[in-house]
Amino acid sequence: MLNTKNTPSIRQLQLFSTLVEHQSISKVAELLHISQPSVSIQLKKMAEQLETELYTISGRKVFITEAGQAVYRAIQSIDTTFSNLQIELNAFKGLQAGTLKIAVDSTAQYLISKVLSPFCHRYPKIDVQLTINNRQTMVKRLKSNEDDFYILSNSPAGVDVIQMPFITNSLVVVANKKHELTRQPHISLNRLQHYPFILREQGSGTRQHIERFCKSHNIKLIERMTIQSNEAIKQFVAENIGLGILSHHTLNQGESSDLVVLDVDNFPINSQWYIMRRTERKLTLLASTFDDYMQNEWQLKS
């Protein structure tokens, strides 16, 4: 029989788990929409219930104790147990219910609707939880095993995944149609170094490929502006504020008539996107069905 007297609440477990993952009381408060004093009070009560110190604070830094690490491992185990229970319950229902969790690199968002649309029409009662962010955030989610599937340019080191090719991604140099370089039939990499660029932020997959390309070709671009949005980059390039380097998939969306793809040495920068999942993650019936769909039915020509 469960001794509820000394058992933390689900909310307290959530608060502490978030604290371990983000190492900040203020971040816990922000993410879970609760005041900082309330976070501290609940965590103090939890420590008193368990009769052990879970963490210490020195300055602005949070340090998780060994006991706290043990509690966190137990929380992860509880979460896994409930996830597996949900898998079994959904299996009883067939595909009449269930949630498919997919995390997508922000550039790949331009294709995900084409992937999901036929599947959602086939199974109209399912729910899809779609997370879109830059590569850095997606890698964190992958390492934490938060989602069923991930779409990334490549898997991070030290994480066991099962992956299959999704689609080729080509990065191209774009300019306003009135830019002086549009009058050039061919442009050298050296010449690109004389023009300002509007680039994606650090941590994005696009930025990583650009930096790797520049290093391998020994060039340095003038960075006028850094933006987290492909759409915003397109708008600034359309206003002739600078050149951009974007996935060709982004140019098929929205109003891009003012943009021209330049013919530049060694471009496009080609890479491969993959759809992947953690090796140890137990697939729900829904996730398994989606996996079969991706392997056997879905094809998108780049």
pLDDT single digits (tens) 13-72: 999 999 998 899 998 998 888 899 999 999 999 999 999 999 998 888 899 999 999 999
> Is residue 192 over pLDDT 80?
yes
The structure tokens 């099962």 sit at 162
* HSE-up of residue 121 (Cα within 13 Å, Cβ side): 6
pLDDT single digits (tens) 76-134: 888 878 877 776 676 666 666 688 999 998 888 888 888 898 898 888 888 999 999 88
Average pLDDT over residues 253-278: 85
Please report the pLDDT score of residue 256 as a whole number: 52
Buried b or exposed e, range 143-167, using 16+ CB within 10 angstroms:
eebbbbbbbbbebeeeeebebeebb
Please report the pLDDT score of residue 302 as a whole number: 36
Same topology for domains 4-67 and 77-167+273-296, yes or no? Answer: no
Domain assignments of the chain as residue spans, ordered by start: 4-67, 77-167+273-296, 168-271
> Is residue 236 over pLDDT 60?
yes
- Whether the CB-CB separation of 227 and 250 falls below 8 Å is answered with no
Q: What is the CATH number of domain 77-167+273-296?
A: 3.40.190.10
> Is residue 201 over pLDDT 60?
yes
Partners of 58 in the β-ladder: 61
Please report the pLDDT score of residue 268 as a whole number: 94
Asked whether the whole model's pTM tops 0.75, one would answer no
Distance (Å, whole) CA 189 – CA 192:
5
Distance (Å, whole) CA 237 – CA 179:
10
> Is residue 147 over pLDDT 90?
yes
Q: What whole-number percentage of the chain has pLDDT above 90?
A: 46
Kindly report the number of other CB atoms within 10 A of residue 90's CB atom.
Answer: 19
Q: What is the CATH number of domain 4-67?
A: 1.10.10.10
Closest CA to 181 of 164, 196, 166, 165: 196
Please report the pLDDT score of residue 100 as a whole number: 92
Average pLDDT over residues 156-167: 87
- Whether the CB-CB separation of 180 and 262 falls below 8 Å is answered with no
CA 165 to chain centre: 17
Average pLDDT over residues 172-180: 94
Class (C level, CATH) for 168-271: alpha beta
Please report the pLDDT score of residue 1 as a whole number: 46
* HSE-up of residue 235 (Cα within 13 Å, Cβ side): 7
